[in-house]
Homo-oligomer: A and B are copies of this chain.
Amino acid sequence: MSEVYADRRVRLRDRCAAAGSPAALVSRPANVRYLAGGSPPGAVLLVGPEPEADVLLCPVAPGGEPADGRLDELLRQQVMPAGGGDPAVAAVDLARRAGADALAVEEHHLTVARHRAMGSVAPALRLADLACAVEQLRIVKDEDEIACLRIAAEIADQALGELLESILVGRTERHLALELERRLVDHGADGAAFPTSVGTGPHSGRRGHRPTDRRVEEGDFLTVCLGADYRGYRCEIGRTFVIGTTPADWQIELYELVFAAQRAGRESLAPGADYRDVDRAARQILDAAGHAGATVPLTGHGVGLEIDEDPQLSPSAMGKLDACVPVTVEPGVHLPGRGGVRIDDTLVVRQEADGGPELLTITTKELLAL
């Protein structure tokens, strides 16, 4: 298992060397976890000129948490002495001593103050920009990563399925969200992948709606969006239901529209497809029905160690999908004052020959009246 992390560091080392930096400092927690198997709070990873110089620097925490149990055991760890300061600053000195004349750092993550402190300890060492090199490596997943996502999706499906069997009318958004999060953990999640969103009535269909004390009422749309974190991998599922026996005509119409848009998005997922074409496939159906103003900036996004990672499926996104890239497809329409519909799946892009896109979140997308 551990060679996985060493192999990833080799790929990063090669990229950096090709760009003129013999060493790299990785500080963004999800990137540290990707390359080291875990990311203890505050830890940074030095990827040195040689594998032997790779080291995970952790801030001291006597009496605190032990380091993450799944850390790559082939990777050297160094705990900062008490009062030892910022591990990123210590890493600069280690890079210099390992013979590096330049160190690539994550300028999109390091603060100006931290970058300055790093620059001042070894003025002869040039600080270059690693940019999003690790994020780029993370886009295409291996089958072990996809297996984690598959389990995460299964857990979310189970939690959602159980909720649907319970009485919903009269309960608040906040309580439904908390119950879903408890069920995620019951089924083996390490936690929620992101704050569970439950929106009823006028709140339904909103992306990222934060649960309030509004109670579920007869005739409401109810939109639920949740995900599980399983071994660091995060999936996402969103569904919209109608409360009561007979959906109104506008509800059926809107649901069918969003369903059609979501299906079009899913069906356009293929290796080689432009990111923005996936977005357009879903978006044009909503736009054509007059909802151009009621949609969101993006139709979907990558998932993995973060719930929102590359690629972005949006009108301005540049790039093409690869096989083994997990993404969400989550169009929605929200009509101010009335509510709306969102339908959200996590899928893995696969070759046509392999059966096309693999749907991880399998809860039904029929319009259920609860």
Contacts and interface: CB of A to CB of B under 8 A. Distances in A.
A285 interface: no
A207 to B, nearest CB: 5
Oligomer: number of copies: 2
A316 interface: yes
* A: contact size bracket: 35 or more
A206 B64 contact: yes
Contacts of A181: 178
A63 B182 contact: no
Interface string A351-369: 0000000000000000000
A217 B115 CA distance: 48
A338 interface: no
A110 to B, nearest CB: 5
Contact of A63 (B105, B316, B332): B332
Contacts of A105: 112
Interface stretch (A90-98, A289-297, A321-329): A289-297
A210 interface: yes
Contacts of A340: 63
Nearest to A60: B297
Contacts of A115: 112
Contacts of A296: 61-64
Interface string A197-240: 00000000111111000000000000000000000000000000
Interface string A57-70: 00011111100000
Interface in A103-127: 105, 107-116
Q: Looking at A61, A113, A115, which has the most chain B CB atoms within 10 Å of its CB?
A: A113
A272 B208 CA distance: 45
A106 to B, nearest CB: 8
A166 to B, nearest CB: 15
A82 interface: yes
Contacts of A207: 61, 63-64
A83 interface: yes
Contacts of A152: none
9 contacts: A62-B295, A63-B207, A63-B295, A63-B333, A63-B340, A109-B111, A110-B112, A178-B182, A178-B185
Interface of A: 60-65, 82-83, 105, 107-116, 129, 174-175, 178, 181-182, 185, 205-210, 293-297, 316, 332-334, 340
